Structure 1
Amino acid sequence: MAQLTGLHIYPIKSAYRLSPASAQVEPWGLTGDRRWMLVDETGRAVTQREEPALGQIRVLPAPDGSLTVTAPDGDRIEVAAPSTAAGDPEVKAEVFGSFFTTALVSAEANAWFAGRFPGVRLVHLDDPLSRAVDPAHAGPGDTVTMADGYPLLLATTGSLAELNARIAEDHPDDERKAAALPMERFRPNLVVDGTDAWAEDDWRRVRIGELTFRVVKPCGRCVVTTTDQETGVRRGPEPLRALGRHHRIGQKLIFGQNLIPERPEGFTGPLGTLHLGDELTVLEHA
C-alpha cells in the first residue's frame, strides 16, 4: 500500500524544514509553506542556489503569524508578519520570471538577515491569491505561494532507492561518492512510500487521505540537490550526475512531481488535513 510517510513545510523559502505529523492543505499549498522569502535589491528570490548556508536557518512560526528565526550560532530574532493591507512597504518580488507583490519586514529584521547574507531583504506574501500558477499547467484561479512554481512537491522513497542504487553503481571504487542520499536533499513537501521506482511519472491525479490532487508537472532538479541540508555544504555532482544518466526527461533532470490541490471553483479556504500514514490512491494515469 502506498502511504504518506513524510510531511515537510519550509516557512522561509530555502531555509530549514519543519516536519509535522499532520498539515493543513490550502489551495496554494501546505499552510505556512514558503510564505516568506529573501530577495535581493531588485526583488529577485535569493535561495540555496546562491547561498547554500541559507538552509541552516531554523524557523518557528507562531499562531499570530510571526516567526522566531535562529541562526546556526544561536542568535535569534522575532519577526512580525508585515502586511501590505496594513500599510507596510511593498516589494515587487520575483521567482523565475513570476512577479507578485509582497510586504517588507522591519528594518531590524532586515539588518539581521543582511548581516548573514549581504544585500538581502526578507519579504512576506500576505496575500496568497496574488501569484498565479503558470497557466500552461494550471486551471483558472490556481495560485501558489513563493515555491518555485507549484503548490506542492511529491517524491517517493521507491524512486530515491533506485536513484541511490544507480549512484552506487556509477561509483564502484569511491565509497564517499557512492553514499546514499537522504530524501531531504530534494526538499519535498510530501514523501510517499510503497510504490515502484518512478511510478509517479505516470500519475495524473491522486487521492491522499481525504484530499485529491492533480499531478501537473515533473520537477526538474538544480544545484540545491547537491547541498547537504544538515551542514549547508555542497557535496559534489550527485544526484545531478546520476539523474542526467538515468532519469532525464527531455532536457530536465527529474526527481519528484508537482501537485495542485483540487478545490471547488472560487474556493479559497482550507481544503482538509494530511496525516502521516494516509493512503495514496492513483485515480488517473497518463
Structure 2
Amino acid sequence: MLQLSEIWIYPVKSLGGIALQHSKVTDRGLEHDRRWLLVDENDCFITQREHPKLALFQPEIAGDFLKISHKDVQESVAVSLFPVLPETTTKIKVTVWEDVVAAFEVSPEVSDWFSSILGFNVRLVYMPDESLRKVDPDYAVSPNNVTSFSDGFPFLIIGQSSLDDLNSRMAKAVSIRRFRPNFVFSGGKAYEEERWEEFTIGTLSFYGVKPSGRCVMITVDPESGTISGKDPLLTLSKYKTKGNKVIFGQNVIAQQQGSIGVNDVVKVQKRI
C-alpha cells in the first residue's frame, strides 16, 4: 500500500520548510506554499543556489501569522498569513526565472530585517490571489494551470523508497529536506513516482506531468546553510538523468481542490 507519510510547505521560497499533518490543496499549490519571495534590488528572485545561508531562516505558523526566525539571530519577525494589499501600495513586477509576476512588498520593516541579516538589500514580497502565474504550457493539463513562486509547478512528490535507494549509494545519507518535496509517500518501488500520470491522495486527484530536474541547490546542507560537497547531485548524475538533466521526484498538478492529511492512501490510476 502507498501512503502519504509527509506534507511540506515552504511559505517563503528558498527558506526553510514546515512539516504539516494536514493541508489544503489549492489551484496554485498547498495553502501558503511559496506565496512569499525575497527579491533583490532589481526585483529578481533570490534562492539558495547563490545564497545558501537562506536555509538558516526558519518559518513557522503561529495562529494567523507566519513567524520567521534565523538560527543566528535572536529577533524574529511575523507577517500575516492572509496579507491584504493596502490601497496606497503599488504592485511591483518581480522576476522568477522567465516569468514576470505581480506582487507587493509586505512591509519595509520586514524587508529591512532580512536585509540586515543577509548584508544586502532585499524585499519580502507576496503573491496576491489575483496574480496568476501559468505553468509551462508544454506540461500543463489545462490552459488555466497556475503555480505560486515555485520553480515551475504547484507540487512535487517523492517516494521514501527513492530517497532510501539514493542514500544506499552514498557514503553519507541525506534527509528529504534537501529535495524540498510537498508530498512524501511510503511503500512502492524506488523512483516509481516518475512514471505516474494520474493518481489520488485520499479523495483528491492529481496528474504527474514531468520528472523534476535537480541542480546545485540539493548540495546545500539545510542545517548549516553551506554547500556540503558534490553529493547528492554527483551520485544522482551517475544513474538518474533524462536528457542532460539530473532528475529526482515528480512535478505534479492537482485536478481538484480540497484537503489532504498524513496517512492518506495514495492510489495510482495511470502510469507511463
- TM-score (normalised: structure 2): 0.94
Higher strand proportion (structure 1 or 2): 2
Alignment of 1:99 with 2:100, yes or no, is yes
**Is the contact made by 2:199 and 2:266 (CA closer than 8 Å) also made in structure 1?**
yes
CA distance, structure 1, for counterparts of residue 131 and residue 78 of structure 2: 26
1:180 equivalent to 2:168? Answer no
Aligned to 2:189: 196
Q: Following TM superposition, by how much is the alpha carbon of 1:152 offset from its aligned partner in structure 2, in angstroms?
A: 0.4
Contact 1:84 1:103 in 2 (8 A): yes
Q: Deviations over 1:211-258 (max 9, x none)?
A: 110101111111111111122121000011111101111111000001
Q: Is the 8 A contact 2:8 2:19 kept in 1?
A: yes
What is the Cα deviation at residue 84 of structure 1? 4.0
1:282 to 1:60, Cα distance in 2 relative to 1, 3 A: same
Give the residue type in structure 1 aligned to 2:241: R
Q: CA deviation at 1:89?
A: 2.9
- Find out whether 1:151 has 2:154 as its counterpart: yes
Does the residue aligned with 1:246 lie in a helix, a strand or coil?
A: coil
SS class of match (1:259): strand
How many angstroms does 1:71 deviate by?
1.7
Q: How does 1:76-115 map to 2 (within 5 A)?
A: 76-80=76-80, 82-84=83-85, 86-115=87-116
Contact 1:83–1:103 (8 Å) recurs in 2: no
Matched-pair identity in %: 37
DSSP-derived class of the 1:179 partner = coil
Q: Distance in 2 between matches of 1:232 and 1:215?
A: 31
Please say if 1:165 is aligned against 2:168.
yes
1:45 is paired with a residue whose SS is coil
- Tell me if 1:25 matches 2:29: no
CA distance in 1, matches of 2:182, 2:265: 16
User: Which AA in structure 2 matches 1:121?
Assistant: R
Q: Report the secondary structure of 1:215's partner residue.
A: strand
Shift of 1:128: 5.8
1:48 counterpart residue number: 48
1:68 matched residue in structure 2: 67
Which ranges in structure 2 are unaligned for 5 or more consecutive residues?
A: none
Counterpart position of 1:136: 138
Q: Provide the TM-score with structure 1 as the length reference.
A: 0.89
> Which amino acid in 1 is paired with 2:68?
V
Q: Distance in 2 between matches of 1:128 and 1:223?
A: 32
RMSD, aligned CA: 1.5
Per the TM alignment, residue 67 of structure 1 is displaced from its structure 2 partner at its CA by 2.6
Aligned length: 268
Displacement of 1:82: 4.8
SS at match of 2:12: coil
Deviation at 1:85, TM superposition (A): 6.5
Distance 2:128 2:54 in 1: 22
- CA distance in 2 between counterparts of 1:127 and 1:21 reads 24
CA distance in 2, matches of 1:254, 1:89: 39
Residue 10 (structure 2) aligns with: 10
Distance 1:229 1:128, change over 3 A: farther
Give the counterpart letter for 1:233 in structure 2.
T
